[in-house]
Each structure stands twice: as C-alpha cells, then as structure tokens.
C-alpha cells in the first residue's frame, strides 16, 4: 500500500506527510492538528470550503438577477482572486466574459499602500458592464487603483464583488456591491490568498493564529 497523502502533506507542497515530516522536521503534533504552517507562521481554520461555496452561489444568484438582460465583463484581480473568480463565474447564467488584471500591493502580511500594475487590461471595455472581482478588500488601496484604471476605459457601469472585506481596515469610499464575508482585521490565507506565495491552494480560508 502506498503512503497516504494527508491534507497537511498536500498543502505543504504535494509530498506525502511522512516524507515531508522527516525532511522538514515538522512535529507530529502539527501533522495531526488542523493548524497550517506556512513559512514561519501558524494559521488556524476560519471559513470552510462549503461555507465559501454557499455564499458564492448566493452572490452569483444576486448578480444573475441584477444582470438578467445584460452581458457582464468580469475583471479578476490577480493573483489572489483567481479561485473566487472561477467559482463565481461557474455560477453565472448571464452571458459573461472574464478579463484579468495583475496588481501588487502586499508584502508579507502588510499592505504597502503603493499599488502597481504588473499585467494590464488589453481589451477595450468602453460601454461594457464591468464587475471587478477581488479576493479581499483590506485598506482599499488596490480597489481604488483598479477602479480608477477601469473608469478610464469609459465602461457603461462598474460594480465590485469581493470574497472578503476587512471593514476595520477599509479606508476607501468605493461601494462593495457584492460581498461574501466581512471579517476581522486579521491576516488570512487560503482559497487563492497567500502568505508570501504559499497557501493559495488551501480549500478553506485560514486565519493567522494569535
Ligand atoms: P488593500 O490594497 O490593502 O485593500 O489590499 C488588497 C490586496 O492585498 C488583496 O488583493 C490581497 O491580494 C492582499 N491582502 C489583503 N489582506 C490580505 C490577507 O489577509 N491575506 C492575504 N492577502 C491579503
Ligand atoms: Mg488580491
């Protein structure tokens, strides 16, 4: 019989847990608990996959009602929003397109406040109905930047959908039209969100352990 690939083993890079444990000297306690270690930090379960899917289906249903007679152009903000965008997109019944914009504002567990485009929008979006898709709105600097970029393209309308919002950190004035979860001002990973590149593949959302 082959070595069983546990969830913990998978998250840490797709290696069987026992081999990984030996290689990185990870304690048995970690492997049998529900804590997740990414780089130097510990994360604990926060929102599970089923709860995420249920809320995403509800938000998609709202969008389907609001855009029943319109074509939607989604703009997914990379990297973090790619999993949320994909699951939401699969639940949309209106004719819809997906575009991607890659920006960067975070380093480690802190927003730098300075947002830069890494891959910009290439197609004309004038007179189109846009919904910007974000994994998490924290200070709001990223959304402010993207909203401004999209506005320049003279679209018919712009709305915003986000998986998560940290209301206590938010300093922006853009309305989040479609929101799955408001969360406390704590760093989270999983379901597309990362800590220095790791954790995006987690099926659930985890919170930094205090
Ligand atoms: P903002 O510009 O401060 O609103 O930060 C937004 C971006 O920073 C998001 O698109 C995420 O990529 C990243 N971010 C913000 N908070 C977190 C978090 O708790 N975990 C992981 N990434 C985050
Ligand atoms: Mg993001």
Tell me: the pLDDT tens digits for 53-85? 999 999 999 999 999 999 999 999 999 999 999
What pLDDT sits at residue 200? 98
The predicted structure's pLDDT at residue 98:
97
Higher pLDDT, 119 or 92: 92
- Is the beta carbon of 106 within 6 A of some atom in ligand 1? yes
pLDDT at 61: 98
Site of tokens 């924290």: 138
6 C-beta closer than 6 A to ligand 1: no
Asked if 191 and 52 touch (Cβ cutoff 8 Å), the reply is yes
> Whole-model pTM?
0.84
Q: Looking at residue 5, what is its pLDDT?
A: 33
Ligand 1 centroid to Cα of residue 183, in Å, is: 12
Atom number of ligand 1 nearest to Cα 135: 10
191 alpha carbon, closest ligand:
1
CA of 112 to the centre of ligand 1 (A): 10
- The residue ranges of every structural domain in the chain are 49-187
Binding site membership of 136 for ligand 1 (Cβ less than 6 Å) = yes
| pLDDT recorded at residue 104 | 78
199 CA → ligand 1 middle, Å? 14
Sign of the four-CA dihedral 196, 202, 203, 209: negative
Catalytic residue among 50, 69, 87, 138: 138
| pLDDT, average across residues 40-65 | 97
Which stretches of 25-81 are DSSP H helices? 28-32, 49-66
194 is catalytic: no
- In this predicted structure, the answer to whether residue 7 has a pLDDT above a threshold of 70 is no
Report, at the CATH architecture level, how domain 49-187 is classified: 3-Layer(aba) Sandwich (3.40)
In the block, which residue shows the tokens 């639940």?
A: 91
Could you tell me which residues come within 8 angstroms of residue 195 by beta carbon, excluding any fewer than 6 positions away? 38, 39, 41, 43, 108, 109, 187, 189
Which range (41-45, 53-57, 108-112) has the least confidence? 108-112
Q: What percent of the chain has pLDDT over 90?
A: 73
For 164-199, the pLDDT digits (tens) are: 999 999 999 999 999 999 999 999 999 999 999 999
Cross-strand bridge partners of residue 37? 42
* 2 or 161, which is more confident: 161
Residue 137: is its pLDDT beyond 90?
A: yes
Where does the pLDDT of residue 113 fall: very low under 50, low under 70, confident under 90, or very high at 90 and above? low
């Amino acid at each position: 019989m082959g070595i069983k690939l546990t969830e913990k083993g998978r998250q840490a890079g797709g290696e069987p847990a026992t081999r990984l444990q030996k290689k990185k000297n990870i304690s048995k306690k970690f492997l049998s608990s529900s804590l997740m270690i990414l780089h130097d930090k510990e994360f604990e379960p926060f929102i599970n996959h089923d709860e995420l899917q249920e809320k995403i289906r509800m938000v998609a249903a709202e969008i389907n009602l609001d855009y029943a007679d319109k074509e939607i152009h989604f703009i997914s903000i990379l990297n973090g929003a790619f999993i949320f965008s994909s699951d939401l997109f699969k639940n949309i019944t209106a004719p819809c397109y997906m575009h991607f914009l890659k920006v960067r504002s975070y380093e480690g567990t802190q927003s730098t406040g300075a947002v830069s485009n890494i891959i910009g929008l290439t197609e004309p979006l004038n007179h189109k109905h846009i919904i910007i898709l974000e994994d998490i709105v924290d200070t709001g600097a990223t959304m402010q930047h993207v909203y401004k970029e999209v506005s320049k393209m003279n679209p018919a309308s712009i709305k915003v959908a986000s998986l998560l919002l940290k209301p206590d950190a938010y300093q922006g004035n853009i309305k989040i039209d479609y929101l799955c979860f408001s969360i406390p001002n704590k760093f989270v990973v999983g379901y597309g969100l990362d800590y220095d590149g790791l954790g995006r593949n987690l099926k659930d959302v985890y919170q930094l352990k205090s």
